[in-house]
């Protein structure tokens, strides 16, 4: 589309570290955003306004009223219609910048489809809400050589870390193994304020532009954390020494690409899905009962916890295993589990 007057990207290309060459690289970029929630919507809009050539949005969920408080691209009509988030985001971005190609994929990223869903992209941005997906992306990144940017936000706190395979530590280097279910707060259990998700996503896209424009030096691979409530800001170097002992970086063991950490089994005839995490835990039901945000009743004994989150009934066992009644869709069951228990 031709526009009269000054280029829509003129203020951006006048920024010396980008320039016209950087703008050309942005225009040629192909970026995947995994998860189109509080972080992903902001990432997508900033990239679209910056003129990124192709933005692929991968999300398994639909728009709900509770999303509107912080998820930038969505409107009340999207929640009323229950539109898939990827579709609603693509419609909005088409109105923001018609020059950008947006590819909405309503899908659950899994080991079985990750090669197809991420084919052809040069950069991956993390907009997910659980470590199961992040460890899967991390395996794919190191195996394929495609950089990605890890990010998370909950409460008033968030963090960002760019990962360049072979040059910087990966997520396994930093965290070791997958956190056990119930040990990490989620936006549904701990809440979140919109300002921190916007700030973290903005930092994430700034790092993305550096990578796209080849302006990121080895010293730039840092873990950045910020708490918008206390204004506590930290930027920490991530040493490469952990790479020598990392099962992914040093041994090429892609455990999450080769398996399903949160295995699902559809229970035929019961309208239910069983979820079996690979990491065992010993849930404290008293704490879980206090943190689960449900409109219905929560019951528990020494063996299991049951909560009613219409239209679903969720039964959780002490080892983290759960049965989600009210759906036979594994992706939807994983989404319910991640929101209530964390993964």
What is the residue-wise DSSP string for 232-298?
EEEEEE--GGGGGG-TTTTT---TTTSS-SEEEEEETTTTEEEEEESS-----HHHHHHH---SS-E
Mean pLDDT within 314-332: 85
Judge if 171 and 304 occupy the same domain. no
154 contacts 190 by C-beta, under 8 angstroms: yes
What is the model's pLDDT at position 4? 45
Q: Average model confidence (pLDDT) for the chain?
A: 87
φ/ψ region of 61 (left if φ > 0, alpha if ψ in -120 to 50, else beta) reads: beta
Instruction: Give a yes or no: residue 2 inside a domain.
Output: no
What is the model's pLDDT at position 188? 65
Judge if 266 and 148 occupy the same domain. no
The Cα–Cα gap between 214 and 25 comes to 9
Token digits for 300? 């528990």
Judge if 89 and 131 occupy the same domain. yes
Q: Domain tally for the chain?
A: 2
The Cα–Cα gap between 125 and 109 comes to 13
Token digits for 269? 């005839």
Instruction: Give a yes or no: residue 137 inside a domain.
Output: yes
Instruction: Flag whether pLDDT at 227 surpasses 50.
Output: yes
Instruction: Give a yes or no: residue 71 inside a domain.
Output: yes
The Cα–Cα gap between 58 and 169 comes to 25
Map tokens 């993390």 to a residue: 126
Last residue of a domain, one of 245, 270, 288: 245
Instruction: Flag whether pLDDT at 211 surpasses 80.
Output: yes
Judge if 219 and 117 occupy the same domain. yes
Instruction: Flag whether pLDDT at 31 surpasses 90.
Output: yes
Mean pLDDT within 276-295: 76
Instruction: Give a yes or no: residue 156 inside a domain.
Output: yes
Judge if 238 and 274 occupy the same domain. no
Judge if 232 and 276 occupy the same domain. no
Mean pLDDT within 93-114: 92
Judge if 43 and 86 occupy the same domain. yes
For residue 75, the number of C-alpha atoms closer than 13 Å in the C-beta half-sphere is 8
Sign of CA dihedral 10, 16, 21, 26: negative
- What positions carry a catalytic annotation? 187
Instruction: Give a yes or no: residue 254 inside a domain.
Output: no
Mean pLDDT within 131-147: 93
What is the model's pLDDT at position 261? 61
Peptide bond into 311 cis (omega under 30): yes
At 70, which CATH number?
A: 3.40.50.720
Instruction: Give a yes or no: residue 252 inside a domain.
Output: no
Judge if 141 and 193 occupy the same domain. yes
Judge if 217 and 99 occupy the same domain. yes
Judge if 207 and 60 occupy the same domain. yes
Domain interval for residue 183: 10-245
Q: What is the dihedral of CA 238, 239, 241, 243, to 10 degrees?
A: 30
At 296, which CATH number?
A: 3.30.310
Burial (0-12, 13-18, 19+ Cβ within 10 Å), 42: buried
Last residue of a domain, one of 190, 220, 245: 245
pTM, full prediction: 0.79
Judge if 208 and 302 occupy the same domain. no
Judge if 36 and 82 occupy the same domain. yes
Instruction: Give a yes or no: residue 253 inside a domain.
Output: no
The Cα–Cα gap between 104 and 71 comes to 16
The Cα–Cα gap between 18 and 212 comes to 10
For residue 196, the number of C-alpha atoms closer than 13 Å in the C-beta half-sphere is 24
Q: Compute how many other C-beta atoms are within 10 angstroms of the C-beta atom of residue 50.
A: 20
Burial (0-12, 13-18, 19+ Cβ within 10 Å), 327: middle
The Cα–Cα gap between 102 and 331 comes to 23
Instruction: Give a yes or no: residue 256 inside a domain.
Output: no
pLDDT tens digit sequence for 259-274: 756 677 676 667 888 8
Last residue of a domain, one of 182, 217, 245: 245
């Amino acid at each position: 589309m031709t526009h009269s007057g000054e280029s829509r990207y003129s203020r951006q290309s006048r920024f010396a570290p980008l320039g016209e060459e950087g703008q050309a690289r942005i225009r040629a970029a192909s970026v995947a955003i995994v998860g189109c929630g509080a972080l992903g919507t902001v990432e997508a809009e900033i990239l679209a306004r910056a003129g990124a050539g192709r933005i692929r949005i991968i999300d398994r969920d639909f728009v709900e009223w509770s999303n509107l408080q912080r998820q930038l691209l969505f409107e009340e009509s999207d929640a009323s219609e229950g539109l898939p988030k990827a579709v609603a985001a693509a419609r909005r971005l088409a109105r923001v910048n018609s020059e950008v190609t947006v590819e909405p994929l309503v899908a659950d990223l899994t080991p079985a489809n990750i090669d197809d869903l991420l084919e052809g992209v040069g950069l991956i941005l993390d907009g997910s809400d659980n470590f199961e997906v992040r460890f899967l992306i991390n395996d794919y990144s190191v195996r394929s050589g495609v950089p990605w940017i890890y990010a998370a936000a909950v409460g008033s706190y968030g963090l960002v870390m760019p990962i360049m395979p072979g040059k910087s530590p990966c997520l396994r280097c930093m965290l070791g193994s997958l956190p056990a279910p119930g040990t990490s707060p989620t936006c549904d259990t701990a809440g979140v304020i919109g300002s921190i998700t916007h700030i973290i996503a903005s930092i994430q896209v700034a790092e993305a532009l550096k990578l796209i424009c080849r302006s990121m030096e080895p010293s730039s691979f840092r873990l950045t954390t910020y708490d918008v409530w206390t204004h506590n800001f930290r930027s920490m170097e991530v040493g490469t020494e952990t790479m020598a002992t990392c099962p992914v970086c040093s041994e090429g063991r892609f455990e999450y690409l080769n398996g399903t950490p949160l295995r699902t089994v559809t229970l035929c005839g019961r309208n239910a899905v069983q979820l079996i995490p690979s990491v065992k835990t010993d849930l404290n039901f008293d704490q879980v009962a206090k943190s689960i945000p449900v409109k219905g009743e929560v019951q528990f004994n020494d063996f299991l916890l049951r909560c009613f989150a219409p239209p679903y009934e969720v039964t959780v066992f002490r080892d983290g295993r759960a049965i989600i009644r009210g759906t036979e869709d594994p992706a939807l069951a994983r989404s319910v589990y991640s929101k209530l228990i964390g993964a």
